[in-house]
Each structure stands twice: as structure tokens, then as C-alpha cells.
Amino acid sequence: MTDAQNTADTQVEAKAANNPTAMKSKRKKLLTIFAVIVITIGLIYAIVTLVFDNSVNTDNAYVGADNAQITSMLNGQVLQVMVGDTQQVKKGDILAIIDQRDAQIALQQAEAQLAKAKRQYTQSSANSSSLSSQVLVSNDDINSARAQVVQSQVTLTKAQNEYQRRGQLAATGAISKEELASYQSALDTAQANLNVAKASLAQAESKQKAAQSNLAANEALIRGTSQDSTPDVLVAQAAVDQAKLDLSRTVIRAPLDGVITNRNLQVGQRVAPGSVLMVVVPVQQLYVDANFKESQLKRVRVGQTAVLTSDLYGKDVEYHGKVIGFSGGTGAAFALIPAQNATGNWIKVVQRLPVRIQLDPKELQEHPLRVGLSMDATIDLNSK
């Protein structure tokens, strides 16, 4: 019975094989099925490309901000602390006050030095007038000394002539030796007076040169300057400005709007320049650092829009942002202990690159965030 059935099936297949129409119909059916499969795969790829490949997403994203560290600019004791942690502040609000007495004393000393420098300039200007008068007076002294020299020279000449005549008379015995000695004494006196007159002339000329040198030196100090532009006054004025600045720095103010955090300041504490007193977080100027895989960044560009959600508010609250930049390297590249990949047992690990997304301030005002919160970020790759 079985052999009969096999024989019948064989005959049917032989007939079908010998029938060209049946073969053509079967081939057409197979091609149709293959075409449907290809079209289905194409449609699936198109749907995935158009719908699911227009964005990249990561949940490895965190809120960040450019915090303002409040530091002391001078030494001093804290008198008042006006704010506490979690407190909202506005730009210009007083945060703390440092004892001002030392700064006030320093300002008074600087102002005294400024007044002294101005007085010294006035004195130098007066000295110029005095030295000019001395130069003029020295001219009169020189003229007087020169006249004295001329007079002494005439007296000496007269004494020399008298002595010579008396000497001739003394040779004939017409006058006594005592009278000749008196004329010799007069001659010596006239010579001495001439020497004294010459010395006085030299002294007057030296005084004039000294006065001229002092005048030139004094003029060099004040030439081309006024009381407000002389170097000593400028240095003293700079010290006053610095003292005023130090006095103003005893009142510490908020540099921007934000929330106080990490306050390390107590009344009575002595602070030093550079010590961090507190931090102001600008909660209205937050951004998100989204860490995307390197394989996701091929089409990501600066300026593309992003939609973000926070674990704090859930999926119902969406934030809208814009890509503003890429980090200069991956987190592993800037790690304290970089990965050592040049080893025999190296395993490739997909790296992540931080992408910075700027958030909308209006949305932040409606739903405030805090630094460090987790975010879910999706970048629209078709946006410009």
C-alpha cells in the first residue's frame, strides 16, 4: 500500500515538473515573498532612522554651576555674619563684616603721608625761590669782593711806592730806620689785605656755584610737575587709594544672585587673605554636563536643542536647553590616576565625553534645581 502511494506521488511531481506554468507560478510566489521581506526590512530601517535615530539620550548627566567662592582679602576678626547656609541672596547684599579699626588706622596714616608729600612739594617750590634769591645776592657779594680786591690792589701799589721812596732816602740817611720800618709794615698790611680780598672773592664765587647747584637740583625735582602730579604725591595718593580699598573690603558683599552654601565663618573668627568663607551658587544660571558615549557624538553639534528631565521632579517636568560646548577630554583622561591601556590584558571600554547644556533661566525659576542633581538628557540631532 505504501509503495503504491509513493508511486502516485512520484507521478504527480513528474507531471508538475513537466508543467512550465506551475513552475513559473511557484517562482513568482517565492519572489513575491522575498520582495515583501526586503520591503519590510527597509520600512523598519526607515522608521528606526527617521523616528528613533534623530536623537541621542543619556541618563549620565548632572547639574552644575560656576560657583562664586567668597574669600577674605585682608586679615581681621569677623564682627558680624549676616547670612547662613541655604539662604537666598542678591548681588550686593552684605554677607559678613570684618573689624574695620585696623583699616581705618591704615587709611589715616596714608592720608598723613599724602599731606606730608604735598607739603614737601610746596617746600621745594619755596626753596627754588629762596635759592634764586641766593644766586642774585651772591652776584652782589662777588661784585663787592671784586671791588675790595681792586681797592686792596691800589693800596698795595701805593704802599710799595712809598716804601721804595723811603728806602732811597734811608740810604742817604735822610730818614731813620724806625720810619722805614713803619712803611715796611704798611706795605705788609696792604699785601695781606689784598690776599684777604682775593679770598673773599673766591668764597663769594664758591657760594654762588653752590647756590646754583642747589637751585638746579631743586628745579629737577619739581620741573614739569604740579602738586598733584609729583612722584612722591602720586605714591602717597596710591597708598591712600589702597587703604580706602582695604577699608571697603571689610564689608563682604555677594558678587551675584544665588544661594549660600558651605559657610565656614563664625563671629569672632580671625580670617586671613585667601581663606574661603562661603560659596554662592547661582541657581538661576545652572547648566548640565551630560556624559555621552563616544559612539553617540558623531552628529552632535554646538547649538542643538535638548530636552531634559530631573529625578527631582520626574518625567512630568521638562527642561529645554542648548548645547554650548564639549569638554576637552574624557573623564578618564583627566583622572588623578589615568588608565594604563598599554598592557597585555587591555580591554576596550567605551569612553564618555561631557557635553555642556545650558538650561532656560525661566524654567529654572519655575522649577529650581541644585548642583549635583541627576538629569536625563536627550539631544535633538535634527535641530540647528
Measured between alpha carbons, how far is 177 from 117 in angstroms, rounded to an integer? 73
The pLDDT of residue 88: 93
The pLDDT of residue 173: 66
The pLDDT of residue 197: 84
Closest CA to 281 of 369, 175, 155: 369
The pLDDT of residue 153: 87
The pLDDT of residue 222: 65
Which residue numbers in the chain have pLDDT < 50? 1, 12, 16
